[in-house]
Structure 1
Amino acid sequence: MTDAPKPAIVVVSAQHADQLVDEFGRYARDYEIAKTRSVDEAISVTMSLTRRGVQVAMFVSDSRLPDNLAPTALHMLRSLVPTSRRVLVAPWEYFREDSVAFRPALAKGKFDAFLLMPRGLRDEEFHLAIVELLNEWGASIAAPLVDSVQIVSPDSRGLVLAIRDYLFRIGAPSRVYPPDSEVGRAVVEAYDGEPSWPLVRVFSKDEIVAPTSVRDVAMSIYGRPDEIDVETVVDVVVVGAGPAGLATAVYASSEGLGTIAIESEAIGGQAGTSSMIRNYLGFPQGISGTKLAQRARSQALRFGTRFFTGWPVTGVKTGVDGEPHVVCTEGADVRARAIVIACGVDYRKLNIPSVDEYVGRGVNYGAAMTAAREMEDYDVLVVGGGNSAGQAAVHLARFARTVTIVVRRPDLSATMSQYLIDEISFNPRITVRGNACVVDGGGTDTLEWVELESTLDGSRERVDVRGLFLLLGAEPRCEWMPPDVMRDEKGFVLTGRDVPMEHWIDGCPPASLATSVPGIFAVGDVRAGSMKRVASAAGEGASVVALVHTWLEPTH
């Protein structure tokens, strides 16, 4: 446990303050509940809390305030504590009117949830929304009170940052301890050998390792590749466990198919790095990519999917004359009657040596959720115009002094969802710089500056930044696939009518999600022509199961 003060929930209401404080009494063990009756009082109390070192986890405001409009009030309070969650609560008599009036503000991200004020005991619908928001705050903002993985290192850059990001994505709480701390000395003393940094202690196995890569940590948690033990021929192997692969696993195993899912990195794939997905069906308050992946994994496990995590697929031997396909990994092979390729994509590399040498020291490929905390009070750049870049910018703005989104296009309208564009345009810490690209960077020990070039006239400008987050678009990793699985010129897997006609069977094209090899399917971002959205990937993962069923029928 820790001696740090409890985080606070600040309630703002002139008429219903006592009622709301009573309603939040169930959280009093873990949170300090602060009652205020005006915006000015809330600001004063918040400043007092922060001076005492108290983190404000949430602001809860009445929709009707005497001294300010509620959305404006929450915006003012967010400027004091950008990491807090913000909830607007309307009494029953004003709920319909206020929900219409404040809908544009909600869409722009001025607050996180608009809820009906509880009118009786045990309003669990209200508290479900509150708990989900506190859950996300605790996972992405608060330091863990209990760590399942301890990292000992004199600094938290480079490999340490990559390990922390991986652990965050798999839902394993971790902390970094200096070697001369009490925990650090205990880990060093227990380590068998001459210590090198970092040292990682995994409590589930009571094992201490000195990893040279993130994969070493994954193996210490999940086991080595030669521990894959599948003797039977399974119905379907899913390669990749992002949204598409997880949806395939859930629906295939729920319908009784013997299902194996193999993921080379963390469950959730690229989507697992998203700080908050607000346009996924059924989550009105939004959900982080990590939480979505963890829930989907639990759902698939419940139906019987077996997951093997931390091992890349190295090849596939396609079956002939009714023989099963063979999925090869470094330590073992898995035989399957059908394969669903759902391995997703990686972010494209910048390929500028002067920038890439600072990877892990200010330069990050992807959202790097744990790196956001290191950017507090610094200026950062996010390069990319897709939804992932927008979500990363919004999350970074909770910590960084300024966030600049850099895109080659004039603006974000052609590549980003409107709800994110609205949220970005409202956030005073975020600006968009169009018609520009990164061409150089440098610093001493860590990144300190980058050079931007105009795509219009070639002019250059050096800007001081401490963080550079590169979300540059999709690049498939399909080198392990057999050559008879056809791909387009960019390496994405062809399916359905996109497969060249010479590979059609009896003049008929493959099914919509089927590849050029019978019994091998492709879904999600790795598939040519896919939408590159979480919801569409999950939809393809669910849809492909019907095609797998058809393939597995006795006629085949």
Structure 2
Amino acid sequence: MTDASVAPALNPDLPAIICVSTANADVLRTQLGRYAAEYTVRVEAGPEAAGRCAQALTDAGAPIALVIIDTDLAPADFKEALHGFRTRVPNARRLAVTAWGHYLEHAPLLRHKVAMGVFDTHLLLPRGTRDEEFHSVVVDLLNDWAATTAPAQVETVQIVAPAGDATARQLSEYLFRTGSPHGVHSPDSEVGRALLADYAGARDQWPLVSAMGRPLGPCPDVQAMAREIYGRPNPADLAALSDVLDAIVVGAGPAGLAASVYASSEGLSTVALEAEAIGGQAGTSSMIRNYLGFPHGISGMRLAFRARTQATRFGTRFFSGWSVTGVVPGRGDEPHEVVTEGGSLRARSVIVATGVAYRRLGVDALEALVGRGVNYGAAMGQAREMSGRDVVVVGGGNSAGQAAVHLSRFARSVTIVIRRPALSETMSAYLIAEIEANPRITVRGSTRVADGGAEEGELAWLALEDTASGQRERISAQGLFLLLGAEPHCEWLPAAVARDGRGFVLTGRDVPPEHWSVGLPPADLETSVPGIYAAGDARAGSMKRVASATGEGAAVVSLVHERIARLVPAAQAR
């Protein structure tokens, strides 16, 4: 049992860290002491004491952010502690710690449990002071919990809208993807009334938004929100960009971000244009575990934030909320003109990195419920609303698997629906293993969503149809998350840029021979128009993985360099 003289009091205003350890309790209590100012830290001797502590915290209204279980517990106690916390507080992050002397003995078992998603990660117990490698992982886990589970402590953006407003939910999801702390408040709430007190505009234009302390005003869509946060360049900004740029990157998902980092780090004048959220679809991923260099995983939102910061440091200028409406190819060696809603820019090279969008389901009854329980994409910001509810995820790719795992931290049940018989053809093995080990997730193969309906304006049920027999089953569902494969949106490109039958941009030897120059195909990532390149998911034949998109974004910069090396001396000679 914990010594009552050293056990901190329960504070319902602070999230909690619970550690279960006997042999190493003093070490963990000392190491975790640095968090005591902002977390209630409890070190308990066994599963029974830890369970009582967790119940007391829950009764007091204090959330549990992190559970740390020492692998030196007796096997039965270890199993009981793990099962108890995974059941009682599924949205808490789980960390296993092992003393150095027992690492070789315990590591094989723990490695398997981490792969199954039983633990978020496994660390060695610190042996001295200031073990920052240990604490960096603890901080990442707490950061991930705070970003996905805890309410925002400070609201940079405040949204006022009636409960269930679909646009307000879309704005909230955008803000979640960009890592912007925010809150959604009903007009009759205390915060809502305070914000509306000084608002003289019409009260029927919901949602209303106050960003960075600015006055409340209407915000009709995500692009308006992007401009509200990041601003629209003024004439002086455009004048500063009137010279010919080296590279314009269209799209700021993994491929676009990588291209921006490598281009600007090489001294190329670079502008990145993004219609919505920096990070693209990857920004919605709750946890990417197979990305090189992040052994404990990283969320898509955090990866995008770091990449944007890195590119900005090297000199890339980002403009969010700008849709590109067209490209006018330059004649010969003349620069290309990129036409946007905010004006036109010229560049020697254009990198198309717009990624893909999810296909529509095509069920009218459910399309009418988008934003009211039906979501396209992972909709990470909506996960907390699924607490205690039944959820269906449609899709067999990695994004669908990551969404299902994250939703299982909140929902009562998660059903993955796919048309194929099994996930093995489309999903990474590590995710399949984690899904199979998760008691809250069920996979239904050879199945499609055929119909659905609402109660009180919100999704309430779905009809699932067996694709072989046509038999339908009606199930309860309050959340539907649709991740239905990829559709490129490259219709803004000129006809001179060749695309395949599905609209993906052709590059290299895939470009039809009639577009080749002097009998030679374009370079591997170059399109049928010299100086226009494609990288990432929008390119025909790409792997549709974050790492491959990043690799293509980096690789395309060498082609841009070659073009500029040829064009600039020629222009100077003229």
Q: Which residue of 2 aligns with 1:335?
A: 346
| 1:552 lines up with 2:564 in the alignment | yes
- Percent of aligned pairs sharing the same letter: 56
| 1:299 lines up with 2:307 in the alignment | no
In the TM superposition, what is the alpha-carbon distance from 1:67 to its structure 2 partner?
5.2
- Measured in 2, the distance between the counterparts of 1:435 and 1:256 equals 51
Q: Which residue of 2 aligns with 1:172?
A: 180
In the TM superposition, what is the alpha-carbon distance from 1:178 to its structure 2 partner?
2.2
Matched position secondary structure for 1:554: helix
- Measured in 2, the distance between the counterparts of 1:372 and 1:487 equals 37
Q: Which residue of 1 aligns with 2:301?
A: 290
Task: Note the 1:139-288 alignment, pairs <5 A.
Answer: 139-196=147-204, 197-203=206-212, 206-224=214-232, 229=238, 230-288=241-299
Q: Which residue of 2 aligns with 1:452?
A: 464
The aligned length equals 553
In the TM superposition, what is the alpha-carbon distance from 1:169 to its structure 2 partner?
1.1
Q: Which residue of 1 aligns with 2:3?
A: none
Contact 2:12 2:60 in 1 (8 A): no
Cα shift readout 1:85-107 (whole Å, capped 9, x = no counterpart): 11111101011221123211111
- Measured in 2, the distance between the counterparts of 1:183 and 1:366 equals 30
Unaligned runs of 5+ in 1: none
Q: Which residue of 1 aligns with 2:111?
A: 103
The structure 2 residue matched to 1:417, chosen from 407, 417, 428, is 428
Q: For 2:548, give the aligned amino acid.
A: S
Q: Which residue of 1 aligns with 2:394?
A: 383
Q: Which residue of 2 aligns with 1:363?
A: 374
Matched position secondary structure for 1:21: helix
Q: Which residue of 2 aligns with 1:38?
A: 46
| 1:24 lines up with 2:35 in the alignment | no
| 1:535 lines up with 2:525 in the alignment | no
Q: For 1:210, give the aligned amino acid.
A: P
Matched position secondary structure for 1:553: helix
In the TM superposition, what is the alpha-carbon distance from 1:352 to its structure 2 partner?
1.2
- Measured in 1, the distance between the counterparts of 2:530 and 2:471 equals 52
In the TM superposition, what is the alpha-carbon distance from 1:287 to its structure 2 partner?
0.8
- Measured in 2, the distance between the counterparts of 1:460 and 1:122 equals 59
- Measured in 2, the distance between the counterparts of 1:46 and 1:305 equals 47
Q: 1:257 to 1:90 in 2, by over 3 A?
A: same
- Measured in 1, the distance between the counterparts of 2:39 and 2:314 equals 37
- Measured in 1, the distance between the counterparts of 2:81 and 2:373 equals 34
- Measured in 2, the distance between the counterparts of 1:174 and 1:283 equals 28
- Measured in 2, the distance between the counterparts of 1:187 and 1:80 equals 37
Any runs of at least 4 consecutive aligned residues in structure 1 with deviations exceeding 4 A, and if so which? 225-228
Contact 2:374 2:459 in 1 (8 A): yes
- Measured in 2, the distance between the counterparts of 1:180 and 1:101 equals 53
Task: Note the 1:41-120 alignment, pairs <5 A.
Answer: 41-66=49-74, 68=76, 70=78, 73-120=81-128
- Measured in 1, the distance between the counterparts of 2:454 and 2:188 equals 28
Unaligned runs of 5+ in 2: 1-10
The structure 2 residue matched to 1:121, chosen from 121, 129, 135, is 129
In the TM superposition, what is the alpha-carbon distance from 1:207 to its structure 2 partner?
3.1
| 1:138 lines up with 2:146 in the alignment | yes
Contact 2:165 2:207 in 1 (8 A): no
Contact 2:447 2:464 in 1 (8 A): yes
In the TM superposition, what is the alpha-carbon distance from 1:372 to its structure 2 partner?
0.9
Q: For 1:187, give the aligned amino acid.
A: L
Contact 1:195 1:210 in 2 (8 A): no
In the TM superposition, what is the alpha-carbon distance from 1:69 to its structure 2 partner?
6.2
In the TM superposition, what is the alpha-carbon distance from 1:192 to its structure 2 partner?
3.2
Q: For 2:427, give the aligned amino acid.
A: M
The structure 1 residue matched to 2:523, chosen from 505, 511, 527, is 511
Q: For 2:156, give the aligned amino acid.
A: S
Q: 1:327 to 1:510 in 2, by over 3 A?
A: same
- Measured in 2, the distance between the counterparts of 1:302 and 1:160 equals 33
Q: For 1:12, give the aligned amino acid.
A: V
Cα shift readout 1:173-229 (whole Å, capped 9, x = no counterpart): 01112222332122112223122322111125x132112222222222222376661
Q: Which residue of 2 aligns with 1:372?
A: 383
Contact 2:47 2:80 in 1 (8 A): no
Q: For 1:417, give the aligned amino acid.
A: S
Contact 2:47 2:77 in 1 (8 A): no
Contact 2:46 2:77 in 1 (8 A): no
Task: Note the 1:445-524 alignment, pairs <5 A.
Answer: 445-524=457-536
- Measured in 1, the distance between the counterparts of 2:398 and 2:277 equals 20
In the TM superposition, what is the alpha-carbon distance from 1:232 to its structure 2 partner?
1.2
Matched position secondary structure for 1:11: strand
Moved more, 75-84 or 133-142: 75-84
Q: For 1:11, give the aligned amino acid.
A: C
- Measured in 2, the distance between the counterparts of 1:110 and 1:72 equals 13
Cα shift readout 1:256-277 (whole Å, capped 9, x = no counterpart): 0000000000000010011111
Matched position secondary structure for 1:207: coil
In the TM superposition, what is the alpha-carbon distance from 1:70 to its structure 2 partner?
3.6
Matched position secondary structure for 2:76: coil
The structure 2 residue matched to 1:320, chosen from 315, 331, 334, is 331
Moved more, 416-425 or 207-216: 207-216
- Measured in 2, the distance between the counterparts of 1:387 and 1:535 equals 13
In the TM superposition, what is the alpha-carbon distance from 1:367 to its structure 2 partner?
0.5
Matched position secondary structure for 2:423: coil
Q: For 1:510, give the aligned amino acid.
A: P
Contact 1:513 1:523 in 2 (8 A): yes
Q: For 1:553, give the aligned amino acid.
A: A
Q: 1:157 to 1:79 in 2, by over 3 A?
A: farther
- TM-score, length of structure 1 as denominator length: 0.97
Q: For 2:566, give the aligned amino acid.
A: P
In the TM superposition, what is the alpha-carbon distance from 1:76 to its structure 2 partner?
2.9
Cα shift readout 1:278-332 (whole Å, capped 9, x = no counterpart): 1111111111110000000000000000000011100000001221000000121
Contact 2:448 2:467 in 1 (8 A): yes
Moved more, 218-227 or 499-508: 218-227
| 1:402 lines up with 2:416 in the alignment | no
Contact 1:71 1:105 in 2 (8 A): no
Matched position secondary structure for 2:183: strand
Moved more, 459-468 or 67-76: 67-76
Contact 2:95 2:123 in 1 (8 A): yes
Moved more, 206-215 or 51-60: 206-215
Contact 1:441 1:450 in 2 (8 A): yes
Q: Which residue of 1 aligns with 2:355?
A: 344
In the TM superposition, what is the alpha-carbon distance from 1:443 to its structure 2 partner?
1.4
Question: What CA RMSD, in Å, does the superposition of the two structures yield over aligned residues?
Answer: 1.4
Q: For 1:321, give the aligned amino acid.
A: G
The structure 1 residue matched to 2:442, chosen from 423, 431, 437, is 431
Q: For 1:174, give the aligned amino acid.
A: H
Cα shift readout 1:152-181 (whole Å, capped 9, x = no counterpart): 122144111100001111111011122223
